[in-house]
Structure 1
Amino acid sequence: MFKRVLIANRGEVALRIIQACRKLKIETVAIYAKVEENSRFVQAADFTYCVGPNTAQSSYLNREGILMAALLSGADAIHPGYGFLAEDALFAEMCAECDLTFIGPKPAMIRLMADKAAAKNYAKTQGVPIIPGASAITSANQLKQAAQAVGYPVMLKASLGGGGKGMRVIYNEAHLQQKYHLIQEEAQQTFLNDAIYLEKYLTVARHIEVQILKDHVGNLQIVGDRECSLQLNHQKVVEESSATILQPQQRQQLYDLAKRLLAKLDYCGLGTLEFLFANQQFYFLEMNTRLQVEHGVTELTSGIDLVTTQIKLAAGQTVRPGILPFSGHAIEVRLNAQADAKQHLLATGKLTQFCFSATERIDTGYQKNDIIQPYYDALLAKLIVSATTREQAIAKMQQTLKHTHVTGVGTNLATLSQILNSPAYNANQIDIHFLEQMEGAVQ
């Protein structure tokens, strides 16, 4: 087992990794931007190193600075968390060159799955269904022909995209060329690569995920599934475990697809396979080769500590192959700092009040009187509840939201309460467009 782990991240996920390392009696090293030197995760770590002034680019994306901190601190492994460098194959390679264990899969696996178009092409070769579309688009004419072939509406996506960036829905040919160039520019600016692909836009679909663990000898363990259909601007807002829409035979079909996709991959670590479920068919979307933001709901229904298990896998331990049983139902909502209810702009300022129900799981990197900076993501806290049934879990979350009080910055708390009290949500009559339609109805 590792002696000392550097955490190449910040906020609540850094605290979550520190918690896991303490369970394993591993010392922790926090890196931080100067502007966050008094943050909870910095105070909680055994050792700390400043790697930059404020922006993500100058700190949490500073590969060389992070590696220098790891070497100076005597760390023998690096946990990337999620976001930032978590799916950066180059960073994983640099870790190996410095004799540091990257807590994640091999760089080749990260590189394959980071390219969404390449990942889908690989899935197709393994007999896993993908949404009809076209990749390696290099001209507007080629794009036009591909769109005509699959039929409108279509979705344009950056091949190296993620986090909801580099995506546009196209409903007709009129603005196709204009959107094509906008996507290219956005992809180049955000991901330093302007490659895009096109796929059929599904008007009614559910977003379903499968959590997997695979060890270095090839044992594959499936740790349940999640429902992540409630999204705004392709960012998840509410997540559940399990996906109660699935019948037993559908769940088995989903797991069989996961096994088929991973069977020939030299993959070791934790990962998530994402699918769209439409017309009784599963379509592979992508694989995230890292810890998911919503991992907590799976932990509550499976009883597994996914972060400690992820660390153990990186240290060479194995898992029992098969499908892990799960029970009960868990729901997570993402409480975000939000300045504008319609445009979802990041709110900044001082948290003058930051109070939650003491009975549920609250994953947060903040505390009262903290300053919300403009440099990072909007996530303030993840509120997670579990119960025997979905109906009971919804009731618990409704109460949790009632006892949540945040002042000093704007939040999406009212939107979360609206979702949890929606008759359609309570009846499980949702899809990936549900929140957009709900917002449209309110406006």
Structure 2
Amino acid sequence: MISTLLVANRGEIACRVFRTCRELGIRTVAVYSDADANALHVRVADTGVRLPGETPADTYLRGDLIVKAAVASGADAVHPGYGFLAENAGFARAVLDAGLVWVGPSPDAIEAMASKTQAKRLMGLKPLTDVTEADLPVLVKAAAGGGGRGMRVVRHLADLDAELAAARAEAASAFGDGEVFVEPYVENGRHVEVQILADTHGTIWPLGTRDCSLQRRHQKVVEEAPAPGLSEELQEEVSALAVRAARAVDYVGAGTVEFLVADGRAHFLEMNTRLQVEHPVTEAVFGLDLVAEQIRVAEGHPLESTPPRARGHAVEARLYAEDPSSDWSPQTGRLHRLSMPEGIRLDTGYTDGDDIGVHYDPMLAKAVAHAPTRTEAIRALASALERAAIHGPVTNRDLLVRSLRHPEFTAARMDTGFYDRHLPDLTEPTPDPHAPLAAALADARGRSRFGGWRNVPSQPQTKRYAMAGQDHEVRYRHTRTGLEADGVRVVHADAHLVVLEVDGVQRKFEVTAYGDRVHVNNTALMALPRFPDPTTQHAPGSLLAPMPGTVVRVADGLTVGSAVKAGDPLLWLEAMKMQHKITAPVTGTLTALHAVPGQQVEPGSLLAVVRET
């Protein structure tokens, strides 16, 4: 029996495993980097062990340090979570060699399936070797990868070498293994997967299907179970293939077999020898705790001969600290508040007041809704996300709500090209036009000790706010009867709640301010000074860092005086384990270049200037 378990991971998945351990009466051990010293997963664990350093290569990818931490803390088992070393056979062997229980498949099974090139050979498939024009488009993938890292779509043969180099660098940074391979890229297919659970007694459960077609940068955004619209024959086919893959490597524990479904056919992609990020939708539908099942299997307990019956439908949305309208750029800063309405499962590694840093994945949380039907589950999740209080950096919340309500998704006609087709419409700013007024009135009430009452009419007061990239000026007046604003009747106003009557309809605005940052319902505003500071202005054509990160590369031959075209890549930033391309904003001449490889930059840092011709 496992008594103390160390999770060789961080953030949301570590918190998720610890939650089940508490229910099972198992003590918990967290490992943490210096950047995570005050992270939630450290705070909720019974014991914590520091891994000196901040980068994944120095900390969460150091299997030797993690095994030492397990032994030193008295742990008798290790759970790998997902990502980092979760599919590293060498790490699994080191855990077992140290006399610890490994909560996962055998090292041989991981070795057979964790390398996507080996997995394809095992399933009778081969990666491309000599790529020609006839093979395009192709997909470059990290052999040891996951989560979309180390993946690149190549549509032009001239781009292949550069994309291979970028994929290798990203894979080495994220997984400690820079091996990549190339395969045909099937466009507009559906990403369908099968959850399996196997014990040490020969029983394998295929736990239904999941659809994970809504993806950005090959990372899943919305997932659901079961996968809608599949024929009974196709469901049986992918389930049988998943069981076949598991039996081929004597698989034990939880795993996922992934397919690309196109033209009514299922194409094998890979087998993930670990728990998936999207496992909660399967848990909801089957009424299982997959982490608890992993632990029981690791303790040698047998599964029942048949799995439980599936009930209802579940949908999960990943909430990221990122700006989808700005090339999905990750965001950092203080997460002041994260609150979801009741009835929605929220798996997260953050609480109010935590800081979102630059070193790791920008996922804040996973929100999951379960209901008798798909329509009800989608409606519940979209509504909950819309009403959630998420105060802090920019997130993809609005994108999630619009995605869930998009007719292609509600009709189950989505595919992996969904965001390629619809991103501009899904990210079109639709700020609430009355949010600036509500913010100004709440600010006026919050600053006034006597409610703003005056015996004589006052001059109009003005406030300026930045909202959705534009400046807005609002005017209001203190009168004997309270606050007034042109065209809008102020029903109520205090520091946190404003009620306005617009065209005979009363609307409520919840207002929360954190310094100059103001949240009005789910609209974010920035209070602006009355007169702008001229020293903060930048020349036209300036390229500013959209995120904190490290300059990892400058385009070959790029120097001051170089002619560039709009959209040309100029340099690359690495942030949150992904590389982000910075392109020329206009066609013209590079007149300044401030970025050099290895340089750490903050958001808004001036990287380069292109003078338009």
**TM-score of the pair, normalised by structure 2:** 0.66
Cα 1:58–1:383 shift into 2, 3 Å: same
Offset of 1:71 from its aligned partner?
0.8
Q: Deviations over 1:18-47 (max 9, x none)?
A: 111122221111112233333332222222
Offset of 1:262 from its aligned partner?
2.3
Which of residues 346, 369, 372 is equivalent to 1:385?
A: 369
| Moved beyond 6 Å, runs of 4+ | none
1:325 matched to 2:318? The reply is: no
Pairing of 1:346-385 with structure 2 (within 5 A): 346-385=330-369
Offset of 1:155 from its aligned partner?
2.0
Counterpart Cα distance in 1 of 2:349 and 2:174:
26
Cα 1:97–1:248 shift into 2, 3 Å: same
Q: What is the aligned length? A: 427
1:252 matched to 2:236? The reply is: yes
1:239 matched to 2:232? The reply is: no
Q: Deviations over 1:213-266 (max 9, x none)?
A: 111122111111111000000010000011012122221121111222223322
Counterpart Cα distance in 2 of 1:117 and 1:232:
23
What residue is the counterpart of 1:98 in the other structure?
Answer: 98
Given that 2:112 and 2:249 are in contact with CA atoms closer than 8 Å, whether structure 1 keeps it comes out as: no
Over the matched positions of the two proteins, sequence identity in percent amounts to 40
Offset of 1:166 from its aligned partner?
2.3
Offset of 1:112 from its aligned partner?
1.7
- Which segment drifts farther, 288-297 or 323-332? 323-332
2:353 is paired with a residue of what secondary structure? coil
Offset of 1:153 from its aligned partner?
2.3
Cα 1:42–1:201 shift into 2, 3 Å: same
Counterpart Cα distance in 2 of 1:165 and 1:53:
22
The gaps in structure 1 that reach 5 residues or longer are 125-129
What residue is the counterpart of 1:275 in the other structure?
Answer: 259
Pairing of 1:17-56 with structure 2 (within 5 A): 17-56=17-56
Offset of 1:194 from its aligned partner?
4.8
What residue is the counterpart of 1:127 in the other structure?
Answer: none
1:228 matched to 2:221? The reply is: no
Counterpart Cα distance in 2 of 1:180 and 1:356:
41
Given that 1:353 and 1:368 are in contact with CA atoms closer than 8 Å, whether structure 2 keeps it comes out as: yes
Counterpart Cα distance in 2 of 1:29 and 1:207:
35
Cα 1:153–1:28 shift into 2, 3 Å: same
What residue is the counterpart of 2:292 in the other structure?
Answer: 308
Cα 1:27–1:193 shift into 2, 3 Å: closer
Counterpart Cα distance in 1 of 2:36 and 2:146:
25
Which of residues 131, 141, 151 is equivalent to 1:143?
A: 131
Offset of 1:63 from its aligned partner?
1.9
Structure 1 counterpart of 2:334, one-letter code = K
Counterpart Cα distance in 2 of 1:414 and 1:112:
40
Larger strand proportion of the pair: 2
Which structure is richer in relative contact order (CA contacts within 8 A, separation 6 or more)? 1
- Which segment drifts farther, 310-319 or 46-55? 46-55
Counterpart Cα distance in 2 of 1:60 and 1:195:
19
Given that 1:339 and 1:409 are in contact with CA atoms closer than 8 Å, whether structure 2 keeps it comes out as: no
Counterpart Cα distance in 2 of 1:194 and 1:352:
37
Offset of 1:190 from its aligned partner?
5.0
Q: Deviations over 1:35-85 (max 9, x none)?
A: 333333222222222222433233222322221221111111001111111
Cα 1:174–1:38 shift into 2, 3 Å: closer
1:402 matched to 2:390? The reply is: no
Which of residues 306, 312, 329 is equivalent to 1:345?
A: 329
What residue is the counterpart of 2:4 in the other structure?
Answer: 4
Q: Deviations over 1:247-290 (max 9, x none)?
A: 22221121111222223322111100001111111111011111
Greater Rg over alpha carbons, structure: 2
Cα 1:55–1:339 shift into 2, 3 Å: farther
Structure 2 counterpart of 1:232, one-letter code = R
- Which segment drifts farther, 154-163 or 74-83? 154-163
- Which segment drifts farther, 412-421 or 432-441? 432-441
Which of residues 416, 421, 425 is equivalent to 1:437?
A: 421
**TM-score of the pair, normalised by structure 1:** 0.91
Counterpart Cα distance in 2 of 1:303 and 1:285:
27
What residue is the counterpart of 2:66 in the other structure?
Answer: 66
Cα 1:47–1:166 shift into 2, 3 Å: closer
Given that 2:84 and 2:175 are in contact with CA atoms closer than 8 Å, whether structure 1 keeps it comes out as: no
Structure 2 counterpart of 1:369, one-letter code = G
Cα 1:169–1:48 shift into 2, 3 Å: closer
Given that 2:225 and 2:313 are in contact with CA atoms closer than 8 Å, whether structure 1 keeps it comes out as: yes
